[in-house]
Amino acid sequence: MKQMWNDKRYHSFDYYLKNQFGRKLYKLSLDGNMTCPNRDGTLDTRGCIFCSAGGSGDFAADVTLSITKQIEEAKEKIAHKVIPQIGVSQYIAYFQAFTNTYAPVDYLRQIFMEAIHHPDIAVVSIATRPDCLGPDVLALLAELNQIKPIWIELGLQTIHETSAKRIRRGYPLSTYDTAVKNLRALHIEVIVHLIIGLPYETKEDILKSVDYVSASGIQGVKLQLLHVLKDTDLVHYLDTMHVLTLEEYISILLSCIEHLDPAIVIHRITGDGPKDLLLAPLWSGNKKLVLNTIQHSMKLQDSWQGKNCMHATVTKEVVTCNQKL
Ligand code: SF4
């Protein structure tokens, strides 16, 4: 059955926020001063092949400031976008750079508690790796989740072990499965990052990753177009890998959305790489063009989220979506 989410053909993040919180929430990118086992020598020193020196946190706040000061500074930066609402918390504290559960749990407690108790924060979203969620970290997350919602973002990127090795992800798919199971047992929302356009992956490979993730019990995805950034090892693949054209990307993306369970929220539908570092694909720098082409193509092809999903769960939330049509 065809579904719509207000004016969108997919379960958009904005739709989810309005439905869940009754308002738009604004993301504040914070820096918890972490590193990553893929960078500090525990697993590797080189990082994933696509990861820039900022550890995927190129938009984060100044790490030398306290979390409270970072929140204030990040609020200032986006003040022109925010429509203020008196008496409600309007922000998501987003710990984005590197692996944000990769530190002693006492330190994690200190920074996450500081963020969660800030009156303007409604949600704390933590980007991490599935292999950095030990029992002590899970216990802390469960405690935090009793105070305000905690979202955990897992950088899976692909389900294929050959690709995972090529990009130097550093953990097997079974580690992802365990992490999702543990987090869901604590009622923590899980958002999974997938990359479209990894070296040598076919459209079928990408759709298999989407199908797998879609059936794995998660609540959100970020569908990230692969960006080749300066000074990353991905640059060495440019001679042999295929860089997607806008048309190819749109075709794959629409199929991904059609394969995705309609209950899953799409937190990101494309990518937002730092323009000064972007080498390829250069068309992705024009975000407005990309988003408009997605909307237009979905309409033209009568495409919608879940159209080709084999395991879609008809949740209360989706029924609500239909009722709002
Ligand atoms: S796990 Fe994340 S932070 Fe670490 S190297 Fe890979 S992309 Fe970068």
Residue whose CA is at the smallest distance from ligand 1 atom 3? 98
Q: With a 6 A CB cut-off, is 57 part of the ligand 1 pocket?
A: no
Percent of the chain with pLDDT over 90: 86
Q: Which ligand 1 atom lies nearest to the CA of residue 36?
A: 4
Q: With a 6 A CB cut-off, is 219 part of the ligand 1 pocket?
A: no
Q: What is the pLDDT of residue 271?
A: 78
Residue whose CA is at the smallest distance from ligand 1 atom 6? 48
Q: What is the pLDDT of residue 273?
A: 75
Spell 216-240 as b/e; 16+ CB within 10 A means b: bebbbbbbbbbbbbeebebeebeee
Q: With a 6 A CB cut-off, is 271 part of the ligand 1 pocket?
A: no
Residue whose CA is at the smallest distance from ligand 1 atom 7? 51
Q: With a 6 A CB cut-off, is 97 part of the ligand 1 pocket?
A: no
Residue 274: pLDDT band (50, 70, 90) is: confident
Residue whose CA is at the smallest distance from ligand 1 atom 2? 98
Rg over CA atoms, the chain: 19
Tokens of 6: 């207000």
Q: Which ligand 1 atom lies nearest to the CA of residue 98?
A: 3
H or E stretch covering 191 = strand 189-196
- For 198-237, the pLDDT digits (tens) are 999 999 999 999 999 999 999 999 999 999 999 999 999 9
- For 75-132, the pLDDT digits (tens) are 999 999 999 888 899 999 999 989 999 999 999 999 999 999 999 999 999 999 999 9
Q: State the distance from the centre of ligand 1 to the C-alpha of 169, rounded, in angstroms.
A: 8
Q: Which ligand 1 atom lies nearest to the CA of residue 47?
A: 5
Q: What is the pLDDT of residue 313?
A: 58
Q: Could you give the CA distance from residue 205 to residue 203 in angstroms, rounded to a whole number? A: 5
324, pLDDT greater than 80: no
Burial class (CB within 10 angstroms; exposed 0-12, middle 13-18, buried 19+) of 73: middle
Q: What is the pLDDT of residue 61?
A: 75
Closest by CA to 124, choosing from 132, 116, 113, is 116
Pick from 129, 165, 192, 277 the residue to mutate for probing ligand 1's pocket: most ligand atoms within 8 Å of its CB.
129
Plot region of 22 (φ>0 → left; ψ -120 to 50 → alpha; else → beta) = left
Q: Could you give the CA distance from residue 24 to residue 180 in angstroms, rounded to a whole number? A: 27
Q: With a 6 A CB cut-off, is 98 part of the ligand 1 pocket?
A: yes
Name the pTM for this structure: 0.94
Q: With a 6 A CB cut-off, is 99 part of the ligand 1 pocket?
A: yes
Output the average pLDDT for the chain.
Answer: 92
- For 12-61, the pLDDT digits (tens) are 999 999 999 999 999 999 999 999 999 999 999 999 999 987 655 556 67
Average pLDDT over residues 184-205: 98
Q: Could you give the CA distance from residue 10 to residue 13 in angstroms, rounded to a whole number? A: 9
Pick from 56, 128, 156 the residue to mutate for probing ligand 1's pocket: most ligand atoms within 8 Å of its CB.
56
Q: State the distance from the centre of ligand 1 to the C-alpha of 51, rounded, in angstroms.
A: 6
Q: What is the pLDDT of residue 62?
A: 82
Q: Could you give the CA distance from residue 217 to residue 195 in angstroms, rounded to a whole number? A: 19
